[in-house]
Copies of this chain bind each other. A is one copy, B any other.
Amino acid sequence: MVQDVLMRDEMAERLRALAATHQPEYTEAEVHRLLDLLPNRDVAETLLELSPQELADLVAQLSDETLAELVAELEPIEGASLLLRLTRVRAADVLEEMDPDDAADMVQAVGAVDERAAEDILTEMEPLEGEEVRGLLAYPDDSAGGIMTTRVVTVRPDTTAAEALTSVRRLAEEERTETIYYLYVTGTDRRLVGVLSLRELVLSPPTRAVSGVMRRTFATVPPAADQEAVARLLTEKHLLALPVVDAEGRLLGIVTNDDVADILQEEATEDIQHLGGSQPLEVPYPRASVWLLARKRMGWLLLLFAAEAYTGSVLRAFEDELQAVVALTFFIPLLIGTGGNIGSQVTTTVIRAQALGEVRFGDLFRILWKELRVALLLATAMFGATYLRAWTLDQPVDVRLTVSLSVVLIVIWAGTVGSILPLVLRRLRVDPAVVSAPFITTLVDGTGLIIYFEVARRLLKL
- Which residues of A come within 8 Å of B, CB atoms? 1-3, 33, 36-37, 39-42, 165, 168-169, 172-173, 180-181, 198-199, 202-203, 217-219, 221, 225, 229, 231-238, 240, 257-258, 260-262, 264-265, 268-269, 271-273, 275-278, 281, 284-286, 290-291, 293-294, 297-298, 300-302, 304-306, 308-309, 311-313, 315-316, 319, 322-323, 326-327, 329-334, 336-338, 340-342, 344-345, 347-353, 356-359, 363, 370-371, 373-374, 377-378, 381-382, 385-386, 389, 393, 436-438, 441-442, 445-446, 449
Contact = CB atoms under 8 A, between A and B. Distances in A.
Indicate the member of A42, A261, A298 with the most B CB atoms within 10 Å. Answer: A261
B237 A40 contact: yes
A294 to B, nearest CB: 4
A264 B264 CA distance: 8
Contact of A449 (B33, B217, B333, B347): B333
Number of this chain's copies in the assembly equals 2
Given A326-B322, A374-B297, A202 B336 contact: no
Given A36-B217, A337-B441, A330 B348 contact: no
10 contacts: A3-B357, A40-B238, A275-B437, A276-B347, A277-B348, A278-B348, A305-B337, A305-B382, A333-B446, A341-B441
Contact of A389 (B269, B309, B336, B352): B309
B199 A180 contact: yes
B333 A285 contact: no
B169 A203 contact: yes
A334 B332 CA distance: 11
A169 B202 contact: yes
A123 to B, nearest CB: 31
Given A277-B344, A286-B358, 17 more contacts: A1-B233, A36-B217, A180-B202, A198-B198, A261-B261, A261-B264, A265-B356, A273-B349, A276-B347, A277-B345, A301-B382, A304-B337, A305-B386, A313-B393, A322-B326, A341-B442, A437-B438
A198 to B, nearest CB: 7
Contact of A286 (B359, B377, B382): B359
Contacts of A284: 353, 356, 358
A340 B273 CA distance: 15
Given A229-B1, A277-B345, A168 B333 contact: no
A275 B59 CA distance: 42
Contacts of A370: 290, 293
Which 5 A-B residue pairings sit nearest by Cβ, starting from the closest? A276-B348, A39-B236, A268-B268, A285-B353, A311-B333
A287 to B, nearest CB: 9
Contacts of A285: 349-350, 352-353, 358-359
Nearest to A335: B308
Given A322-B329, A340-B441, A1 B313 contact: no
Indicate the member of A181, A284, A340 with the most B CB atoms within 10 Å. Answer: A340
B349 A278 contact: yes
A41 B275 contact: no
A349 B276 contact: yes
Contacts of A358: 284-286
A305 B338 contact: yes
Nearest to A304: B341
Contacts of A269: 352, 356
Contact of A352 (B272, B300, B333, B350): B272
B172 A374 contact: no
B236 A302 contact: no
Contact of A330 (B180, B202, B315): B315
A336 B338 contact: no
B337 A293 contact: no
Given A33-B217, A261-B264, A442-B337, A329 B330 contact: no
